[in-house]
Chains A and B, each alone.
Chain A
Amino acid sequence: MQSNAALEYDYTVAKLFTYTTILFGFVGMLIGTLIASQLAFPELNYLFGEYGTFSRLRPLHTNIVIFGFTISGVFATFYYFGQRVLKVSMAESKFVMFIGKLHFALYVLLAVGMVISLFLGMSSSKEYAQMEWPLDILTVVVWVLWGVAMFGLIGMRREKALYISLWYYIACFLGVAMLYLFNNMEIPTYFATEGLGSIMHSVSMYSGTNDALVQWWWGHNAVAFVFTVPIVGMIYYFLPKESGQAIYSYKLSLLSFWGLMFVYLWAGSHHLLWSTVPDWMQTMGSVFSIVLILPSWGSAINMLLTMKGEWNQLTDNPLIKFMVLASTFYMLSTLEGPIQAIKSVNAIAHFTDWIPGHVHDGVLGWVSFMIMAGLFHMAPRMFKREIYSKKLMEAQFWLQTTAVVLYFTSMWIAGITQGMMWRAVDEYGNLMYSFIDTVTVLHPYYAIRALAGVLFLTGFVMFAYNMIKTMISSRELTEEPQFKSPMA
């Protein structure tokens, strides 16, 4: 039952989340660059007293880029293309509109609470789940509101079948909900006693090895359902939309999606190789990580084949460049991860800088590139102005590509060197290197990584500038562009 009347989509909420994406992207990467520099130049630890040490700032970096930048990006893109692929406007339902705005308001509250509490050192210390219990509850509320908005829109849809991107967003919603709840089960100590001590403090429901299992079941799948699933959803919308090409193969989309859903969850124990987790679970994590290459590469290949025959677009349109390179970095990290999950390789890679290297070819080359490309594509359509500068976009692309390459090559070399030095024995059979030897040798690589941070951050500032100019002063458009985004 398709309506022919042109729909006016309402981008109010999408715009709000666009602003927070840019803001948190900047702050998160600024802190990232600072902590990268601290490892090369330790004097930088003392800029803000106890609040400025590497250790206090690191969770701020990870939480701001994950729960601030990436999740904002997911929400912004959802409120944008969700309407379009379902063919309904937010304006058609007061209820959904209200939920959307409430969703944003509480989200901002959550983000502020998160930043303040982490600066103060209130942390449950589990990676990517540092927030204490009151904020956990707020997170759940925010997440449920998103679900209500999403299923509200779906309930009103005019397009019968769900588009691929929405499959991924639904999975993101369900996966994060399930994992977050389990991993954050904790008991506030204040209420378990006669009001003794701090009201913010809690203790985990699980202990030791069990706690580790639940944590990395979450940790690994936070990667899956935050850094992978919705980002794949983004590329499935923005690449064909920007290029005007049809998706290469429905079958490939289908198999990749269900394969990813099934296989990803098994691989969590690759974060616990050689630990005290039972051997068979470790083996499962290793084996399924290898299998995981295929459903991951399936989506990437589907995207690259969608651009088949369109070399001219790749050279003309910087937005296409961003997305094609993102697919390539996605392939890199989803092959690197599985190889690092092989037990023998993990014996070296685990605990070293090779892991942050792997992380950042994913989060910089894939996640950040896709989010920025998505927002660039949305801007002319939301603000009805052409993109402010194509030249700036080109420059940003090359600057940031250089940054990612510097980041991952330096950490790759640093990590492998360090891992092998820890194991090395001399001719007498004793350890060849003291720990500090394996630290000082990394100085040049840490310095290169800090430089990479500066370059990537500069690129992000160019992006922010370009977006802001587009919002306020670029040439106005009379008609919405069908495919290629107009840029000056």
Chain B
Amino acid sequence: MNGLIAKALGFAAILIVATIVVVKKMNIDLSDPINIITVIGAIVIAGLTAGVSAKYISQMKSDTASGELADENWDGIGEYKNELPSGWAYSYLGTMIWALWYWTLGYPVNSFSQIGQWNEEVKAYNKKFESIHKNADKATLTAMGESIFLVQCAPCHGNTGDGLSGKAQDFTAGRLSKEQVLYVIKNGSNQLGYQMGAMPPMMAQGKDAEDIATYIANGMKGEQPAAFAACASCHGPDGTGMNGMAPNLKINDDTLVEHVIKHGKKGIIGRMPAFNDRMTPVQIKALATYIRTLRGE
């Protein structure tokens, strides 16, 4: 092989290998058909351009110009009457025939639907994953929850779940801060879609409210203030929400996370949008499990 062609192909090979190495480093699954076709495409681009152009350039070394000159001449520029290079001519003819075939017989108008393809893709996916994870254990759920959290929730709650200095709920501190509880006591709440419905405002006031809020913000440890009775009728004497009738005030149980994801939540910190139809039940469960681990529960 000619030296120039060898060098050109060598460069192309380095480029391809570098690409694959970098991609592999990011844990990319190269058996995904789309990824495979892309890599083949890249090899064709680099290889063919390097090979063919080097072939013609090396003809500058070896061949000589020849042929019959046309009569015309523009500003000293002449023109040979040479025939077409046959490789080029046949390829051209070939692609034209292929395009005609593609258009008329191969894939005529309306024979492909990208939306149909999407439906297939989703169906195949659901079959593959949903069933496997139906009865996942805690470790799996935590890992799964983390991966979803980092993609969907971290832009607000931060990668570590710390709420980015008060821009969203801090999952590393207690379930609720004192200000959050006071805000709800003052304004009531009617957004999470619990069975119990709405919570009325002003269930407690003044020092009572302060005491309750301090108690809840402390994770409901220590002595329960008497005023908490006003809350217990709905949230239960232990504050865990009477089996999902009202929110659990102690921990982020599955029900709470589910309700927040389904309905969003506006509180004193700000508003969280609903992620309603964007999460499957398994994913919600995983998120709840993961969020609890952030506080070591």
Contacts and interface: CB of A to CB of B under 8 A. Distances in A.
Interface of A: 81, 84-85, 87, 159, 161, 163, 237, 240-241, 244-253, 255, 259, 274, 279-280, 282-284, 287-288, 290-291, 293-295, 297-298, 300-301, 304-311, 314, 324, 327-328, 331-332, 335-336, 339-340, 342, 344-345, 347-349, 409, 412-413, 416-417, 419-421, 423-426, 428-436, 441, 482-483
B133 interface: yes
B74 A159 contact: yes
A245 B75 contact: no
A309 B143 CA distance: 65
A282 B115 CA distance: 13
Interface string B81-94: 11111001001100
B56 interface: yes
A241 B77 contact: yes
Contact of B26 (A246, A339, A412, A417): A417
Contact of A441 (B26, B88, B98): B26
Given A85-B75, A298-B88, A424 B26 contact: yes
B181 interface: no
A311 B45 contact: no
Given A430-B148, A431-B147, 20 more contacts: A159-B74, A237-B77, A241-B77, A247-B77, A249-B81, A252-B85, A252-B88, A279-B110, A283-B107, A305-B85, A308-B63, A310-B65, A335-B48, A344-B34, A416-B42, A417-B22, A424-B26, A428-B144, A430-B147, A431-B148
A320 to B, nearest CB: 10
B95 interface: yes
A325 B147 CA distance: 47
B70 A250 contact: yes
Interface in B23-55: 23, 26-29, 32-35, 37-38, 41-42, 44-45, 48-49, 52-53
A426 B149 CA distance: 13
- 8 shortest A-B CB distances, which residue pairs? A246-B78, A429-B129, A309-B64, A304-B56, A249-B82, A294-B92, A163-B74, A428-B144
Interface in B119-146: 125, 128-129, 133, 140, 143-144
A288 B63 CA distance: 34
B69 interface: yes
Q: Which of B32, B88, B91, B96 has the most CB of A within 10 A?
A: B88
Contacts of A435: 151
Contact of B49 (A252, A284, A332): A332
B59 A308 contact: yes
A412 B19 contact: yes
Contacts of A253: 79
Contacts of B79: 246-247, 250, 253
B269 interface: no
A419 B95 contact: no
Contacts of A159: 74
Contacts of B63: 308-309
Nearest to A244: B76
Given A161-B72, A248-B82, A310-B65, A293 B129 contact: no
Nearest to B11: A405
Nearest to B29: A424
B283 interface: yes
A262 B56 CA distance: 26
7 contacts: A241-B77, A279-B114, A342-B41, A419-B38, A420-B38, A421-B28, A429-B125
A279 B56 contact: no
Q: Which of B32, B83, B99, B128 has the most CB of A within 10 A?
A: B99
Interface residues of B, number: 78
A291 B49 CA distance: 16
B81 A331 contact: no
- Tell me what chain B mostly uses at the interface: helix, strand, loop, or mixed: helix
B22 A413 contact: yes
A295 B92 contact: yes
Given A305-B56, A328-B53, A335-B48, A420 B23 contact: yes
Contacts of A331: 49, 52-53
Nearest to A482: B76
Contact of A250 (B23, B81, B286): B81
A104 to B, nearest CB: 23
Contact of B34 (A295, A311, A423, A425): A423
A363 B195 CA distance: 63
Contact of B83 (A85, A241, A245, A251): A251
Contacts of A421: 26, 28
Contacts of B78: 240, 246-247
Contact of B147 (A287, A290, A432): A432
Which of B35, B91, B148 gathers the greatest number of chain A CB atoms within 10 Å? Answer: B35
A246 B69 contact: yes
A246 B144 CA distance: 68
B238 to A, nearest CB: 33
Contacts of B133: 428-429
B29 to A, nearest CB: 7
A251 B82 contact: yes
Contacts of B128: 429
B15 interface: yes
B6 interface: no
Contacts of A416: 19, 23, 38, 42
A268 B72 CA distance: 36
Contacts of A348: 34-35, 38
A90 to B, nearest CB: 15
B150 A434 contact: yes
Nearest to B90: A294
B65 A246 contact: yes
Nearest to B102: A287
B61 interface: yes
Contacts of B61: 311
B109 A280 contact: yes
Interface string B265-276: 000000000000
B70 A301 contact: no
B164 interface: no
A283 B151 CA distance: 33
